[in-house]
Every structure is written in C-alpha cells, then in structure tokens.
C-alpha cells in the first residue's frame, strides 16, 4: 500500500457493516445449529461445552437469528431508501445494468467464462456484479427466507399452529435442518471459493471489510464497469483513500478467523457423515 495509490470504493459503510454482522450471526448459527444436529459426535459435544451447554447454545442460536433477520430487514429497507434517493423506477432498479437480477450479459459472461477456463477465449469483461456474485446473493436471500421462516416456526410453535396444522412443525424441522446443512455447505465452499480462492483473489479478498480495492486491480477485474464509469465521467465519485495499515491487518485477522472456522465446520460435517452418521 502506498500513499499515492488510488483506490476504488466498491462497498459503502452500511453494506460492509451488514456483511460483518451477517458473518458473525451466520457463523454462530451454523456452529450452534450443527452442534445440535450432530450432537452425537465428539466435536459437537466439545463445541456445545464451549458454548456453555446445549441450552445456552440454543439461546445463542436464537439471539444470532434475531441479528440475521435484522440484517435482512435493514437490507430490504435500504433498497427502498436508495430507490427513493436516486429517484429511479422499479424497472431500472430491477432490470438496469447494476441490478442483482440475472440478465443477458450474465448468460453471455457465463458461456465466455467456460471458454476462458479451457483456454478457448479471453477473460470476459465483467461488470459491477458478476453472475457468480448474483448467484451467491440469491442463495443467501432464499436461504434466509426459508431458514428464517422455518426457524421462527420452531421457536414459536404455539403461535404458528394457530394457522398451520401441527404436523407442519415436524416438516419445518426437516426443512430447517436440511436447508441449514445446504446453506452451511454452500457458504463455506462455493461462496468461499468464489470470493477468496479463485486465482485473482487467492488467498483472501478483504474488499467486503475495507470497502475499496486498488484502482488498477479493479480495472483488470471489472473492465466493463470501469470503462462505463470513465466514459460517463463518474469514476472520480468512487475514488477513495486506502484504510490505514493497522486496520487492514485487523481485517485480515478477522477474515482468516472466519475462513478457518468455516472450513473447520465443513471438515467436521464430512467426518460426521462418513464415520458416525445417525
């Protein structure tokens, strides 16, 4: 990092904070949830002892659930606030170039990426959001909705059985448990690979904590957005200063702790499935 190097601001403070709380809550939900799901394994017993027993693990699970649902709601409210502030229509918001919804370019980029992987074409000119980032976003969007709704059903069965039949509590347990396994498996492998382990970013990308990336790196990684901003004269708006070195070091330590925890959970799950599944 040098004082003269220019940085490109990719994530604002709100989105960085939301992602930070998402990491903390998801890791806690996953650790406490899996210690319950695989409670017959030694690692689950050790984990739950660290959490102060299965009962307090259940309390931590519910507390983190409130954090995660709050993050989700703040994100939805923020979308509406941004739409009003920028005075854009829902159509532009949902179908415009910077939308998180899939569009024709994502399909073309996906095909071009496959060709690039086997050396049959150049690296696609990715824009603000790539197809794999949109996929990760909707995987979480769907996951929070399904896991959250079934989790609330398990938490407040008396309330929910006023509207739904009692047997649905059993179904909700299966959906919650299996969707949680899928979400944990997805986030700690596919999401980690997409963001940190792909060759351009290996071994870790801290942009979601620091908010900015060196401009030269951004130009190579997201050429389509870079060109668009240069042509429209808007690039200046996104230029920022780098974070102080000490802050970057703290972010890296946090990032590594999260990555190592996630990978450990995957290893424990695979171990439980292979050697002691019940």
Shortest distance, CB of residue 109 to ligand HEM, whole angstroms? Answer: 29
Nearer to ligand HEM by Cβ, of 37 and 191: the residue is 37
Shortest distance, CB of residue 192 to ligand HEM, whole angstroms? Answer: 14
Nearer to ligand HEM by Cβ, of 29 and 213: the residue is 29
Cα→Cα distances 78→72, 86, 277, Å: 10, 12, 43
Shortest distance, CB of residue 36 to ligand HEM, whole angstroms? Answer: 4
Nearer to ligand HEM by Cβ, of 10 and 176: the residue is 176
Exposed e or buried b per residue across 124-133, where buried means at least 16 C-beta atoms within 10 angstroms of its C-beta: bebbbbbbbb
List, in sequence order, every residue forming a beta bridge with 9; answer none if it has no partner: 212
Nearer to ligand HEM by Cβ, of 207 and 272: the residue is 272
Q: Helix 104-117 to helix 131-155 angle, to the nearest 10 degrees? A: 110
Nearer to ligand HEM by Cβ, of 8 and 38: the residue is 38
Q: Which helix (H) or strand (E) holds 49?
A: helix 42-50
Binding site for ligand HEM (CB under 6 A): 26, 29-30, 33-34, 36-37, 58, 61, 65, 68-69, 147-148, 151-152, 154-155, 176-177, 180, 183-184
Contact call for residues 54 and 48 (beta carbons, < 8 A): yes
Shortest distance, CB of residue 30 to ligand HEM, whole angstroms? Answer: 4
Nearer to ligand HEM by Cβ, of 145 and 202: the residue is 145
Q: Which helix (H) or strand (E) holds 8?
A: strand 7-9
What is the C-alpha to C-alpha distance for residues 161 and 247, in angstroms, rounded to an integer?
49
Taking the CB of residue 103, how many other CB atoms lie within 10 A of it? 16
DSSP state for residue 118 in the 8-state scheme: T
Shortest distance, CB of residue 219 to ligand HEM, whole angstroms? Answer: 36
Nearer to ligand HEM by Cβ, of 21 and 116: the residue is 21
Q: Is the dihedral of CA 44, 149, 101, 75 positive or negative?
A: negative
Shortest distance, CB of residue 275 to ligand HEM, whole angstroms? Answer: 19
Nearer to ligand HEM by Cβ, of 44 and 251: the residue is 44
Shortest distance, CB of residue 173 to ligand HEM, whole angstroms? Answer: 6
143-146, long-range: CB < 8 A, 24+ apart? 143/179, 143/182, 143/183, 143/186, 144/68, 144/69, 144/72, 146/175, 146/179
Q: Which helix (H) or strand (E) holds 178?
A: helix 168-185
Shortest distance, CB of residue 38 to ligand HEM, whole angstroms? Answer: 8
């Amino acid at each position: 990092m040098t004082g003269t190097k220019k940085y490109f601001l990719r994530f604002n403070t709100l989105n960085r904070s939301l992602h930070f709380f998402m990491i903390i809550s998801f890791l806690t939900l996953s650790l406490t949830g899996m210690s319950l799901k695989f409670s017959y394994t030694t690692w689950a017993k050790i984990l739950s002892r660290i959490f102060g027993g299965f009962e307090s693990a259940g309390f931590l699970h519910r507390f983190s659930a409130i954090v995660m649902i709050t993050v989700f709601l703040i994100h939805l409210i923020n979308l509406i606030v941004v739409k009003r502030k920028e005075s854009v229509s829902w159509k532009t918001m949902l179908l415009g170039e910077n939308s998180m919804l899939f569009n024709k370019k994502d399909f073309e980029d996906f095909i071009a990426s496959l060709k690039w992987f086997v050396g049959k074409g150049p690296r696609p000119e990715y824009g603000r959001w790539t197809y794999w980032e949109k996929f990760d976003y909707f995987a979480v969007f769907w996951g929070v909705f399904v896991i959250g709704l079934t989790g609330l059903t398990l938490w407040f069965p008396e309330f929910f059985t006023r509207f739904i039949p009692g047997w649905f509590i059993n179904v909700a347990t299966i959906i919650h448990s299996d969707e949680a396994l899928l979400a944990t498996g997805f986030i700690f492998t596919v999401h980690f690979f997409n963001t940190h382990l792909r060759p351009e970013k290996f071994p870790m990308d801290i942009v979601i904590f620091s908010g900015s990336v060196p401009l030269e790196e951004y130009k190579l990684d997201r050429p389509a957005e870079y060109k668009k901003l240069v042509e429209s004269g808007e690039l200046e708006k996104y230029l920022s200063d780098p974070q102080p070195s000490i802050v970057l070091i703290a972010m890296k330590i946090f990032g590594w702790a999260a990555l190592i925890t996630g990978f450990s959970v995957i290893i424990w799950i695979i171990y439980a499935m292979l050697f002691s599944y019940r």
